[in-house]
Amino acid sequence: MIRYALRCRDGHAFESWFQSAQAFDALVKARHVTCAACGSADVSKALMAPRLVGKTEVATEPKAESEREVDADVAIAQMRKQVEGNATYVGGKFTQTAREMHEGTSPETSIYGEASLAEAKALIEDGVPVVPLPFKAKQKLQ
């Protein structure tokens, strides 16, 4: 797994984890990486300093933990709103539906749902662009 600092065309900064550098490139090319604040798919890597910690040193963060948690909560809420407003929930049929769209046997549309780790890895290995979401679908919470 690799974490990238990202920035959209409007200057919003956010971070996300990816399976690999190649997975990131494929997802960006397919326009599946979107800004957590505005939903723009015009996203690129931002300059990111390495986090180094010596034996007696502690890496300092620019914001307090509670401020970062609030920022993260807001970004996740915005992402949930964007996903739920623009994609169809397919539940446990996510893997099958994503594969059918990738193979061209079903129309391409935005979807979200559930997949096991093994299913998600298989999709990525087969070149099907998928992104894990940092929240559970409301349908799954009921």
Q: What does residue 42 show for φ and ψ, rounded to 5 degrees?
A: -85, 80
Q: Which residue matches tokens 């992104």?
A: 131
Determine the average pLDDT of the residues in 54-66: 55
**What global pTM score does this model have?**
0.52
pLDDT tens track for 100-113? 999 999 999 999 99
Q: Which tokens hold the place of 50?
A: 């390495």
- The span from the CA of 4 to the CA of 20, in Å, is 10
Determine the average pLDDT of the residues in 29-48: 84
Q: What does residue 121 show for φ and ψ, rounded to 5 degrees?
A: -60, -40
HEC string for 80-113? HHHHHHHCEEEECCHHHHHHHHHHCCCCCCCEEE
pLDDT tens track for 82-141? 898 899 999 999 999 999 999 999 999 999 999 999 999 999 999 998 988 888 887 765
Q: Which residue matches tokens 């990738």?
A: 102
Say which residue, 113 or 64, is predicted with more confidence.
113
Q: Tell me the pLDDT band of 66, cut-offs 50, 70 and 90.
A: low
